[in-house]
Structure 1
Amino acid sequence: MQEVRRPEEGTITDEAIEKLKGRIGIERPRLEPPFEFACVDALRNYARGIGDINPFYRDPEYARSTRVGKFVAHPTFMLYMGVSDKKELSEEDVRRSGGRGDPLAGVHAFYAGHDLEWFQYICEGDRLKVKGGLGNVEVKSSRMGGRAVHETHELVFWNQRGELVGVSRQLLIRVERSAARSRGRYMNLDVPHRYTPEELARIEADYEREYIRGSEPRFWEDVEVGEEMVPLVKGPYTVTAYICYCEATGPRNAFHRAHSDAYRYRKEHPRAFPPNDYGFPDTVARVHWDREMARRAGLPETYDFGGERVAWMEHAVTNWMGDDGFLRRLQVRILGFCFVGDTTWIGGRVTRKWIEHGERFVELDLWADNQRGERTTTATAWVLLPSREAGPVKLPARVPDNISIFA
């Protein structure tokens, strides 16, 4: 049966794709990040919002007593900072972009992956500058909704001292909502999951077993290829957990707006606010808490935010590496959804270790499985560890060539 397209839903056309490709390499202004400064409250609340109890990210006094000597941010907090020097698009930018609006307005964007690199800590009091925009566009087929557009968005971050802090490469997959509904790939899932007392007891036991390396250094020489991490559990996932994440990351999404602010943004981007069941407009971001909107996107239930999943994978790595380690790179691939009611177990294994330009690297392969036995996420992490022979990790980390077209 052919799915009826709603008036507010967009289509993927050759013309729209060409307009999108015209935006590659054009710096986009970023003027109102959720956090302009890395203040104590913001850093601590971010850890709370992703469910991390590690004192290194929650207790400023503890953090200042470590070798680092400062209260520092979770690495993924970087994504919610950064003000650009560029204040507006030029007329040439607009011409090359095919206009100011999104060429794929009304086409759903699924958060599909993230490649992140870090070279320096984000410390209490830091203010980040950012430069970025669309890095690449590819057209592929999707099992979920037929023709799909893969967009890679790049951001490069510097601190107030001009030091390169990190690079972000986010993958979004754009799929027509009507096509996703017609395929109904996920609609036969029995969600939310109904847990037995025994299943809940297992989850709670795994929470009790959570291992935080903390102040005990994990020396590079002591790491063995093949050794496994203690699994980290997240869930059962609730809308409350999503709210905690939103509180921790601020209005990170352009569609998270209220009242007069939402009204004025909606005038410019009407397809971003389709009417709800009651007939008045509301943000497309409500797929994360409104089941009816999730079903419009071809899904049986509301689900987590992709950045939240990335933060979970990072949390597993920071638990493992301890206070003296430094997360140098994290490549996350989101393979499926974490629906409300799902529980996620994150595991990992050391796959290699090496020395490059004096830096002691360890590579971890990570995975995330749910209670149905589905693998929803995989990741690869590079960690710099202290050495018995060479001493502590030295920062800033070495920067490779060609990290971004915006660097």
Structure 2
Amino acid sequence: MTTAEKAGADTEIYEFLESDIQRARDIVGIYHGVTQREQFSRATPDFIRNFARSYGDDNPLFVDEDYARDTRWGGQIAPPMFNIALRKELLTDPMPREHRRPAFRGIHVFVSGSTTDWYRPVYDGDTIYAFHGFEKVELKESEFAGRSLFVTRIHVQFNQRAEVVQAQRVLTIHTERHESKKRKKYDAIEAASYTPEDIAAIDELYAAEKLRGAEPRYWEDVEVGDSLGNMVKGPLTATDMMVFHSGGYGFAPYTPCSGRLAYKNRQRIGAFYIPNEQGVPDVAQRIHWDSEYARSIGLPAAYDYGMMRDCWLTHYLTDWIGDEGWIESMSSQMRKFNYLGDTHYFTGNVVGKRVEGDRYLVDLEFRGTSQRGEVTCPATATVSLPSRAAGLAVLPTAPAEWERIAAQLLKRHGELRAEKRRSAQA
């Protein structure tokens, strides 16, 4: 994207390169195995537990091995959004240069929304791989940052048996880094503050939250208009952001690190490192915990990750559906920033119920609303529930074409791994 210039007090200005925009358009519909690992590559009891806890979820189905063995799943399963922290790299043939993603050097990227479909649970011992690509690219004018590139990416996750477990479409917005600072849209937003009484009121909401757990929620007992209950998240702190990172999110592809590793990373992606107020190169990713840096690019404070609120939204759903329910799909939007200090209140309702084949489905609308009264993350979902008449909730079937691609990628992965072993032994 970027031509970098000097402006004022050595402020770098990054703008889109037309060649990068065209490259993004050219690779729509071309999918490749993901060759970069996430922080974790194999599901273990510790990973599953720590990931759930990183966004505040204490559901025993995710955090208690002994409890989970007695559920319909027969063991501990990963929370729905596992994919943001769990993936092993695939060995693949070299990607043609014309298929590579544009660099978008210096351009700020944030997640606007996502749609996720789930097909199978992830268990202890599962290794997760993925293939991905661009599905859609649009150049637009954004009220936040002027010229922006809207990119829809698809990420298909599959296990070591080539079974597709999940597919996620993510809408990301790429913005020119100098434009957002010029705009004054967010100047009127003030940081939240709380009295002891305010915190006590939030604590009462936490204490009243209901986890359905082992008590089945049957399809026949659900009616259109039913409330999904209440959940609260926040007030958001920098500690929350660090704990979320501890669950494994945020390390790929930029690989924030320290010491000698940070030095090496600066040689690899120097534009990702922007000097802080002390002149020390630090990751642009600190916009999620460093309010001084956020203010320097035109925002009132640091803000969360869109994926963090997706975790919150699925937490709200899994608390409601209980151990025997299954989230088939969820679509969410990130319409507003969630700043440090903000509190979110989650509410929702049943908007439909139907039977498709042997699946007893319920359609939901829900949302997170900030203390300002702004709905920042509206969402919809379809869940499969157990039926008093038909028994256990039935899971959907993944597209056969995706599983064919997964099998081909795993086959080639094994061939290349064998070639590496033979070369090492020669």
TM-score by length of 1: 0.92
**Alignment partner, residue 231 of structure 1:** 230
**Alignment partner, residue 61 of structure 1:** 66
In structure 2, C-alpha distance between the alignment counterparts of 1:89 and 1:292, rounded to whole Å: 41
Aligned-pair distance for 1:367?
A: 0.8
Deviations 1:156-200 (A, max 9, x none): 111122211010111110112221111121122111x11123321
In structure 2, C-alpha distance between the alignment counterparts of 1:229 and 1:304, rounded to whole Å: 24
Answer yes or no: is the 8 Å Cα contact 2:163–2:403 preserved in 1.
Answer: no
Answer yes or no: is the 8 Å Cα contact 2:384–2:394 preserved in 1.
Answer: no
Once the two structures are overlaid, the 10-residue window that deviates more, 132-141 or 117-126, is 132-141
What amino acid does structure 2 have at the position aligned with 1:83? K
Once the two structures are overlaid, the 10-residue window that deviates more, 35-44 or 4-13, is 4-13
Determine whether 1:34 maps to 2:34.
Answer: no
**Alignment partner, residue 416 of structure 2:** none
Answer yes or no: is the 8 Å Cα contact 2:330–2:382 preserved in 1.
Answer: yes
In structure 2, C-alpha distance between the alignment counterparts of 1:327 and 1:35, rounded to whole Å: 23
Aligned-pair distance for 1:402?
A: 7.5
For 1:282, what is the secondary structure of its paired residue? strand
Deviations 1:236-288 (A, max 9, x none): 11001111100012553333222233222322321111111111211110101
**Alignment partner, residue 329 of structure 1:** 329
**Alignment partner, residue 210 of structure 1:** 209
Answer yes or no: is the 8 Å Cα contact 2:358–2:394 preserved in 1.
Answer: no
In structure 2, C-alpha distance between the alignment counterparts of 1:185 and 1:161, rounded to whole Å: 49
- C-alpha change, 1:405 and 1:394, in structure 2 (3 Å) is closer
- C-alpha change, 1:37 and 1:405, in structure 2 (3 Å) is closer
For 1:41, what is the secondary structure of its paired residue? helix
**Alignment partner, residue 243 of structure 1:** 242
Answer yes or no: is the 8 Å Cα contact 1:367–1:379 preserved in 2.
Answer: yes
Answer yes or no: is the 8 Å Cα contact 1:5–1:178 preserved in 2.
Answer: no
**Alignment partner, residue 20 of structure 1:** 24
Answer yes or no: is the 8 Å Cα contact 1:136–1:151 preserved in 2.
Answer: yes
In structure 2, C-alpha distance between the alignment counterparts of 1:146 and 1:329, rounded to whole Å: 32
Aligned-pair distance for 1:230?
A: 1.1
**Alignment partner, residue 113 of structure 1:** 113
For structure 1, which runs of at least 5 residues remain unmatched after alignment? Answer: none
What amino acid does structure 1 have at the position aligned with 2:198? E
In structure 2, C-alpha distance between the alignment counterparts of 1:340 and 1:312, rounded to whole Å: 16
In structure 2, C-alpha distance between the alignment counterparts of 1:155 and 1:262, rounded to whole Å: 28
TM-score by length of 2: 0.88
Answer yes or no: is the 8 Å Cα contact 1:251–1:257 preserved in 2.
Answer: no
- C-alpha change, 1:144 and 1:343, in structure 2 (3 Å) is same
- C-alpha change, 1:186 and 1:333, in structure 2 (3 Å) is same
Paired-residue identity, %: 34
**Alignment partner, residue 269 of structure 1:** 269
- C-alpha change, 1:79 and 1:95, in structure 2 (3 Å) is same
In structure 1, C-alpha distance between the alignment counterparts of 2:172 and 2:13, rounded to whole Å: 17
Once the two structures are overlaid, the 10-residue window that deviates more, 319-328 or 156-165, is 156-165
What amino acid does structure 1 have at the position aligned with 2:20? A
Answer yes or no: is the 8 Å Cα contact 2:110–2:174 preserved in 1.
Answer: yes
Aligned-pair distance for 1:8?
A: 4.3
For structure 2, which runs of at least 5 residues remain unmatched after alignment? Answer: 1-6, 407-426
Matches within 5 A, 1:121-132: 121-132=121-132
Answer yes or no: is the 8 Å Cα contact 1:43–1:58 preserved in 2.
Answer: yes
- C-alpha change, 1:107 and 1:30, in structure 2 (3 Å) is same
Answer yes or no: is the 8 Å Cα contact 2:324–2:386 preserved in 1.
Answer: yes
